[in-house]
């Protein structure tokens, strides 16, 4: 059995719990130690129930709490060389954190306890960003947030998954008509920024979704998107009701979803 839940999703902080057998891993940790405990408690978990943190890239909404929580609670920490270098560059005192650090190869599957974890590199404005497919040996959960544009390798990595957490960052019209400065609009909408709803839908349309049991729209902009716009864009591809699509909330995340 594989199950997963979100502790929060969006530019103010991300963390996803993935569980198989006796193993529980956090994907990203944008929350500090005390905030993390409060969010874990909503799922009936304590700090000791997590084994490891796997980090996608060095942006603070994904990594801010990773080193402090790994140090405080003794989690192993898994990230690419590029993410590690970039994290140390922006916060040199991380050198002094005595954490159980594991550098991962962005193309090489690795295991943490009962979980198999396949990284795949993605285009995004970070040093060596990756996203992941998690498996208990039977079921596959693909997670994709923070992506500038889709690539054939992204499609190959995610196709056929039974569960997907998929970035729907913004609605292109809302971003264009909103009051962000032009440079920020360009970064978000550019090739190393974030997927808009239409791009996420186009990506979904290229995947084999015949096994799909759970689809969650994630990393929604609080200013440039609405849950309904994201749900509708994805539902149109699958031909399902909009409310079948889950939405990962910045504050509430989403509750356990199970693949069995
Ligand atoms: Zn992000
Ligand atoms: Zn990012």
CA of 61 to the centre of ligand 1 (A): 5
CA distance 11 to 32: 15
What pLDDT score does 95 carry?
85
Please tell me the distance between residue 194's alpha carbon and the centre of ligand 2 in angstroms.
Answer: 8
Quote the distance between the C-alpha of residue 70 and its chain's center: 18
Q: What angle do CA 100, 256, 70 make, to 5 degrees?
A: 15
Q: Are strands 2-8 and 15-20 parallel, antiparallel or unpaired?
A: antiparallel
| Tens digits of residue pLDDT in 100-152 | 999 999 999 999 999 999 999 999 999 999 999 999 999 999 999 999 999 99
What tokens were used for 192? 């190393």
- Residue % of the chain over a pLDDT of 70: 100
pLDDT in tens, 50-96: 999 999 999 999 999 999 999 999 999 999 999 999 999 999 999 88
Cα(188) to centroid(ligand 2), Å: 10
Find the 124 Cα to ligand 2 centroid distance in Å. 7
Residues 6+ apart with CB under 8 A from 160: 140, 207, 208, 210, 211
Distance 89 CA to ligand 2 centre (A): 16
**pLDDT tens, 240-256?**
999 999 999 999 999 99
| CA–CA gap between residue 163 and residue 141 (Å, rounded) | 5
Q: Which two tokens stand for residue 58?
A: 């060095």
Q: How far is the CA of 136 from the centre of ligand 1 (A)?
A: 26
Distance 27 CA to ligand 1 centre (A): 12
**28/12 Cα distance (integer angstroms):** 12
CA of 152 to the centre of ligand 2 (A): 20
Q: For residue 215, count other CB atoms closer than 10 A to its CB.
A: 22
Task: For residue 170, report the distance from its CA to the centre of ligand 1, in Å.
Answer: 12
């Amino acid at each position: 059995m594989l199950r997963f839940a979100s502790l929060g999703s969006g530019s103010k902080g991300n963390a996803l719990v993935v569980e198989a057998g006796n193993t529980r891993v956090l994907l990203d940790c944008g929350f500090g130690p005390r905030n993390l405990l409060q969010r874990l408690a909503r799922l009936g978990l304590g700090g000791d129930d997590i084994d490891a943190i796997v980090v996608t890239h060095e942006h603070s909404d994904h990594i801010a709490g990773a080193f402090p929580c790994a140090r405080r609670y003794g989690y192993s920490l898994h990230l690419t060389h590029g993410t590690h270098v970039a994290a140390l560059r922006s916060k040199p005192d991380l050198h002094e954190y005595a954490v159980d650090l594991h550098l991962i190869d962005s193309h090489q599957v690795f295991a943490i306890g009962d979980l198999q974890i396949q990284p795949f590199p993605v285009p995004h404005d970070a040093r060596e960003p990756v996203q992941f497919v998690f498996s208990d040996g039977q079921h596959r959960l693909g997670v994709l947030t923070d992506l500038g544009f889709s690539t054939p390798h992204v499609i190959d990595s995610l196709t056929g998954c039974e569960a997907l957490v998929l970035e729907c960052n913004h609605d292109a019209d809302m971003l264009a008509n909103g009051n962000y400065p032009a440079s920020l609009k360009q970064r978000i909408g550019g090739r190393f920024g974030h997927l808009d709803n239409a791009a996420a839908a186009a990506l979904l349309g290229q995947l084999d979704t015949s096994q799909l049991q759970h689809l969650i729209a994630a990393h929604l902009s609080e200013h440039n998107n609405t849950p309904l716009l994201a749900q509708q864009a994805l539902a149109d591809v699958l031909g399902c009701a909009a409310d079948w699509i889950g939405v990962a909330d910045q504050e509430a995340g989403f509750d356990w979803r199970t693949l069995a």
